[in-house]
Structure 1
Amino acid sequence: MTNPHDRALPRAVRLTMPLAQDVVEEVAKQHGVCIRPVALKRLDTHTGQWEIVDVPCGSPMEAKCPPCAKRNRHLRMAQCREGWHLDEEPTITPDEPNDEQRWLVEFRADIQAQRDDADKAGADTAELDALIEGLDEEINNAGMRGNVLGRTAPKRTRSTKRRQDAPDLPKRTMTNTTLGRTFQAPDGKTYRPSLFVTLTLPSYGKVRDGVPVDPETYDYQRAARDALHFSKLIDRFVQNLRRVAGYDVQYFATVEPQKRLAPHLHMAIRGTLPRAEIKQIAAATYHQVWWPQADKVVFDGERLPVWEQGAGYLDPDTGEVLPTWDEALDQLDADEDAEPLHVIRFGDQVDVKGVLSGTPDADQCIRYLSKYLTKSLGQSLDGGQAQQQHAARFVDALRYEPCSPTCANWLRYGIQPKGAKAGMMPGRCRSKAHKPEHLGYAGRRVLVSRKWSNKTLAEHKQDRRTWVLEALGQTDQPTDPHRYVWRPVPAGDANVPPLSVRLLRSVRERQRWLAHMAELQARAEGQDLSATEGRAA
């Protein structure tokens, strides 16, 4: 509703006035309140009462919700800090399976048996396959890792012989530890140093201020393929690192974009190795992409493969069925002279820094690791015109590059994608790797090894919750998991107040918490002061 007072003001004056909703959002941001809360209906089974509860959106991106992004960043900083310089072995004991998990696994086994029987009888198994796929997703969502039946298809194996153009690496005998070496100083003090490592990709052409000097000679295709497979290169580096180190190296790493738009890696490593060895490992690390060739365009423009139900995609001219993904890989395996589609390596620029626990350097590295976590990889697109043109060329190079075996772009090169279905079209893959804000990198932005801090991210969140409750003078009582029933709120539900009202309520609640915490802190400081004066008297 428009304020009558506003209508009395001149139009030019009204246009300069901020919107009330924007002011409410700014106030919410200042108080750390989520500005995109998700409204849910909660039924208290003890009282039978329904209520509307606002749940924070939890977005890690500052562009969507700065307060939630800030909380996520501080949570990651705490996770990094707690695990970097552990001096005791972490102990990870898997939880006992609950009733729901047992039931899901038993039901999954029963459906699998039905599917096997139907397959032997020659019956259609499509419906059972769909049910199994849904059950596998439920099993993962229920808090279980891995596949119930293990690997259901044979793994394709290739020669493990190292490339002739890659240097060999030393290999130490593995020891059952995650802790690095300690060093004794002349004064008897023991030090346990760790490492902060930065790895980058090679050059694709000369750049100045993050922009190619000559865009025509800049290798955009190689840059695009490196970005698409960067996560695999990181995996190889960790494997090589552990082989050379001789122990179960733990790490906390983040992936960020350079100004030239190439992803690079910052990694906190528990323990230390000689700098020369780290650089040797980076130089010897590579990843080969054994996919069918994607350099020769077969179908383009209006001449695209045609979908036929039950057969798959057909050549529009001859009507022949295109090779499936597995058939294309079989053909690749049979070719003794075949070369990988792409080989990705790190660049020569490797930065290695020793860090000691509790030093300003450690705090600075942790802040640096989390510096860009609240920003998308593509936020570097907001530069000047030359930077935007560079980004447009890079995104254009990504458009038709296959990002995975299921990518629709394989049709462009005469191959049916894995799991092909109707409606697929080259250049319109929905994977996040092809979205401008991801710049080809579809992996996780934060990479944390399993034994890093001896806690899951959920446990770190619980630590933070416990600290807040203790600061408020409350105890964290366990909640009966069966007490509440949660339901989504339908769009347009009249029981949900306007967003501005909900935000102001949350702001008021936050103010009440802060006032209570300040009161408790002042009271505690007063008690400490009284005790000190009493001892002095």
Structure 2
Amino acid sequence: MKPSEVPLDAVQEYAVKERVCIRPLLRRVIDRETGEAVLVALPCQSTRESRCPSCAARARTLRMHQCIAGWHLEEEPDVPVRLKEPPAELETSEDVATTHRGRTTRRRTDAADLPRRPQEDRTIGQVFRASDGKMYRPSMFITLTLPGYGRTVAGTGTPQNWREYDYHRAALDALYFPRLLDRWFQNLRRCAGYKVQYFGAVEGQRRLAPHFHVAIRGAVPRAVIKEVTRATYHQIWWPQMSRPVYVDELPVWDGMDYLDPTTGEPLQTWAGALAQLDLDEDAQPAHVIRFGRQIDVQGLLAGTPDAERSVRYLTKYLTKAVGETYADQAHDAAYEAHIDRLHDEVRWLPCSPSCANWLRFGVQPKEAGPGLVPGWCFSKAHDREHLGVGGRRVLVSRGWSGKTLADHKADRAAVVREALEAAGIEVESAGRMAAEVEASDGEGRFVWAAVVSHGGTSAEVLMETVLERRRWREQYEYAKSRARADPPVDSRSATARTPGMRAAG
């Protein structure tokens, strides 16, 4: 049977087994010197298993190596860590604390005070001497959760009584969970006495509330971690988000402002709403988010089975969206209804100052323009599969390993390339069709163009990609056998399944 005659679903199943992208991006590359045109398939690089299992698995593996690379460092990484700056990786849409200009920063009376310790200029953990004379440099694995919103049925995550379940608060907590994590890291660094570095992942619990697994470099007393968690909160000083003003008839755009559909009066602007909030002495925050009582703290040592197991557990659900985490319960009508009710709240609540949902609450979004429709905000946080978690799932501090994710990916490819070159195997893709390759006239030799395929990727193109990947893998296995040793397992390690040799990609 010719490759073109093989059913596409069969080829895709085979591609998944070979860890090859099943929905590659097609590019036509023209060599300006020879006139030759070839079709190149680039991996889609999706991080979702439901879209491409192969690319999602590679992305998870790369994150695992990034986590391992920085967790138990014994020397400071060559990256400046600025303690006073919030972690850039959180990428919240706007710092809510600074949005409200006139509000006091005094701590709430119902929150515990935070201890302060003198700060040491280090990011690595301390070394401890055991009774047997051995030296240890422990690190930590911590799990943080949100509070409960009502009683749930054991083992299912569904509410015992959905009418008593606080879906509104659950949705708000999910939308602003990254801001609470940002505050927790700031507080922990002040209380730990050194520049704590972290690698964490946001995941969904069975009850659909997000929780956070985080690897911490160095050891912090458990009592301090629990005290910081209890004392951490975040206030959102925005206009009220509990009572919609417009439900059936929505405001209309007149070219300059959104107008009340009945009176024709312009809605309050975002700046005006904040100014009014500043003048109200009795104003309360629109929402206050805190952690739940459940917190798990473990001390771990490098190279132990518990540490390796924690890395796999930390990245376990990175290939799934929050709404897909417990997809095995999709056949359960009660669980599906639970997802729908939470999504209904998440869809209509504001996620940022520029969210279109502010129109429902009688406020024009920040920098408002035409075409805003409540319930159709561009942020993926409102989608059913994300259920409020719209930012990055992996949060990594700047000083974690001294390298970016792209650096780790390049290092893993370099290990494979070096092994092949040491075995005398020519790496065809090292400079093939690269953008920096010049022709005789000094201009770029290769011209890349996207290929629009209305029928999707053909079975023939996908099969060629699978065969090419198999040939690369066989070459790599041969190179390893020639060296009589596996490549080193460190931040630059690469498995036989992820050669990453395609220069065009």
Category of TM-score, reference length = shorter chain: 0.7 to 0.9
Cα distance in 2 for residues equivalent to 1:21 and 1:44: 30
Match of 1:521 among 480, 486, 491: 480
Does 2:465 correspond to 1:506? yes
> For 1:75, which of 47, 62, 67 is the aligned residue?
62
Q: CA RMSD in A?
A: 2.6
How far apart, in 2, do the equivalents of 1:446 and 1:215 lie? Answer: 31
8 Å Cα contact 2:80/2:399 also seen in 1: no
* 1:423 and 2:371 correspond: yes
Show CA shifts across 1:137-158 (max 9, x none): xxxxxxxxx9xxxxxx998353
Kept in 2, the 8 Å contact 1:469–1:475? The answer is no
- Which of residues 399, 402, 414 in structure 1 aligns to 2:347? 399
* Counterpart contact for 1:472–1:513, Cα < 8 Å: no
460-469 vs 353-362, greater mean Cα deviation: 460-469
The 3 A distance-change label for structure 1 pair 28 and 245 is: same
**1:225, distance to aligned residue in structure 2 (A):** 0.5
The 8 Å contact of residues 381 and 391 in structure 1, kept in 2 or not, is answered as no
- Distance between the aligned counterparts of 1:48 and 1:78, measured in 2? 41
Residues 427-446 of structure 1: pairs in structure 2 closer than 5 A: 427-446=375-394
Cα 1:462–1:2 shift into 2, 3 Å: closer
From 427, 433, 452, the counterpart of 1:491: 452
Q: Does 1:297 align with 2:258?
A: no
Cross-structure match for 1:30 = 17
Q: Give the secondary-structure state (helix, strand or coil) at the position aligned to 1:472.
A: helix
Q: Which residue of 2 aligns with 1:194?
A: 139
Output the TM-score relative to the length of structure 2: 0.84
Indicate whether 1:40 and 2:27 are aligned. yes
Q: Give the direction of change, closer, same or farther, for the CA distance of 1:308–1:472 in structure 2 (3 Å limit).
A: same
Matched, 1:331 2:305: no
Matching residue of 2:336: 388
Alpha-carbon distance in structure 1 between the residues aligned to 2:229 and 2:301: 23
| Partner in structure 2 of residue 128 of structure 1 | none
SS of alignment partner, residue 385 of structure 2: helix
Give the deviation of 1:181 after TM superposition.
Answer: 1.4
Alignment of 1:114-133 (within 5 A): none
Name the counterpart of 1:203. 148
Between Structure 1 and Structure 2, how many residues are aligned?
451
Q: Which amino acid aligns with 1:68?
A: C
Taking CA–CA contacts closer than 8 Å with sequence separation of 6 or more, which of the two structures ends up with the larger relative contact order? 2
| Structure-1 residue corresponding to 2:180 | 233
The structure 2 residue matched to 1:57, chosen from 44, 48, 63, is 44
- Does structure 1 conserve the Cα–Cα contact (< 8 Å) formed by 2:26 and 2:451? no
Q: How far apart, CA to CA, are the structure 2 residues paired with 1:59 and 1:486? A: 25
Determine the C-alpha separation between the residues in 2 that align with 1:265 and 1:25: 34
1:265 to 209, 212, 218: 212
Q: Alpha-carbon deviations, 1:1-40, whole Å to 9, x = none?
A: 999xx9xxxxxxxxxxxx8111111111111111111112
For 1:288, the equivalent position in structure 2 comes to 235
Find the counterpart in structure 2 of residue 274 from structure 1.
221
The higher radius of gyration belongs to: 1
Return the letter of the residue paired with 2:142.
V
Q: 1:328 to 1:382 in 2, by over 3 A?
A: farther
Going from structure 1 to structure 2, the CA distance change for 1:445 and 1:327 (only over 3 Å counts) comes to same
Q: Aligned equivalents of 1:402 and 1:492: distance in 2?
A: 37
CA contact (8 A) 1:382 1:388 kept: no
1:250 and 2:205 equivalent? Answer: no
Question: What amino acid is the match of 1:459?
Answer: D
| Gap change, CA 1:498 and 1:523, over 3 Å in 2 | same
Specify the alignment match of 2:490 in structure 1.
Answer: none
Deviation at 1:282, TM superposition (A): 0.5
1:204 and 1:218 in contact (8 A); partners too? yes
Distance in 1 between residues matched to 2:178 and 2:99, nearest whole Å = 23
Structure 2: distance between partners of 1:394 and 1:453: 37
Q: Which is worse superposed, 496-505 or 241-250?
A: 496-505
| Deviation (angstroms), 1:406 | 1.1
Q: TM-score, normalised by structure 1?
A: 0.79
8 Å contact 2:192–2:224 — kept in the other structure? no
Deviations 1:429-478 (A, max 9, x none): 23211100001111210000011011111110011111222333358867
CA distance in 2, matches of 1:155, 1:385: 42
Alpha-carbon distance in 2 for matches of 1:497, 1:179: 49
SS in 2 for 1:291: coil
1:455 paired to 2:393: no
Contact 1:84 1:270 in 2 (8 A): yes
2-structure distance, mates of 1:375, 1:497: 23
**2:264 is equivalent to residue 316 of structure 1:** no
Q: Letter of the aligned partner of 1:491 in structure 2?
A: V
Q: How many angstroms apart in 2 are the aligned matches of 1:88 and 1:82?
A: 12
Q: Which amino acid aligns with 2:476?
A: M
**Cα offset, 1:47, TM superposition:** 5.2
Structure 1 gaps of 5+ residues are 7-18, 95-145, 147-152, 527-537
For residues 497 and 387 of structure 1, the distance between their equivalents in structure 2, rounded to whole angstroms, comes to: 34
Identify which of 389, 408, 414 aligns with 1:466: 414
Contact residue 31 and residue 447 of structure 2 kept, 8 A: no
In 1, Cα distance between equivalents of 2:171 and 2:67? 30
Residue 90 (structure 1) aligns with: 77
How far apart are the structure 1 equivalents of 2:231 and 2:196?
A: 18
Secondary structure at the aligned position of 1:437 is classed as: coil
* Alpha carbons 1:90, 1:453 under 8 Å: kept: yes
Give the Cα–Cα distance (whole angstroms) in 2 for the partners of residues 413 and 183 of structure 1. 56
Q: Could you tell me which residue of structure 1 aligns to residue 7 of structure 2?
A: 20
Q: What CA distance in whole angstroms lies between the structure 2 residues aligned with 1:70 and 1:181?
A: 34
Deviations 1:26-75 (A, max 9, x none): 11111111111111233446656443221111111111111111111110
Contact 2:23 2:457 in 1 (8 A): no
* Contact 1:381/1:387 (<8 A) preserved: no
Work out the percentage of aligned pairs sharing the same amino acid.
Answer: 52
Distance of aligned partners of 1:480 and 1:314 in 2 relative to their CA distance in 1, 3 Å threshold: closer
Distance 1:203 1:155, change over 3 A: closer
Shift of 1:382: 5.1
